Amino acid sequence: MSNRINISSGSPFEDTFGYCRAVKTGNLLEISGTVALVDGEKITADDLYAQTYNIIERIAVVLEEAGSSLNDVVRTRIFTTDISKNLDIARAHAHFFGDIKPTTGIYEISALIAPQYKVEIEFTAWVG
């Protein structure tokens, strides 16, 4: 079995829920569901494009820290509380992944951890 490396974000929720930001096993990297840093100015609760863009920008940093990149993402799973805004989400996703084209799914769910969060994305990437 390959060595397992846990990558922490430092969030207190990691201990509360018993998870970490990402887990690398061999060449596989799985990244936990990630929401945007909603600040009420640049990224607002009603701007699903900005939330999606922020999530992917932040995950690009996690990928680099793990020896990977957005080019190595093979799957995204997008959860939203408002599927009617799917084209806003798609536009931000395509900004980063238009040429890479990972497999993906988009799912409407009833709620996320707090009401200002409207998008959460999980990522799977290949390392090396």
Vertex 109, ends 104 and 110: CA angle to 5°?
Answer: 170
Name the token pair of 63: 């990928």
pLDDT over threshold 90, residue 9: no
Write down the pLDDT at residue 2: 61
Question: Per-domain residue ranges for the chain?
Answer: 4-126
- Residue of 1 and 116 predicted with greater confidence: 116
pLDDT for residue 128 is more than 80: yes
Q: Which of 1.10.10.60, 3.40.50.720, 3.30.1330.40, 3.20.19.10 is the CATH number of 4-126?
A: 3.30.1330.40
Would you give the DSSP letter of residue 113? S
pTM for the whole structure? 0.95
In the block, residue with structure tokens 């805004």: 85
| Confidence grade of residue 83 (pLDDT, cut at 50, 70, 90) | very high
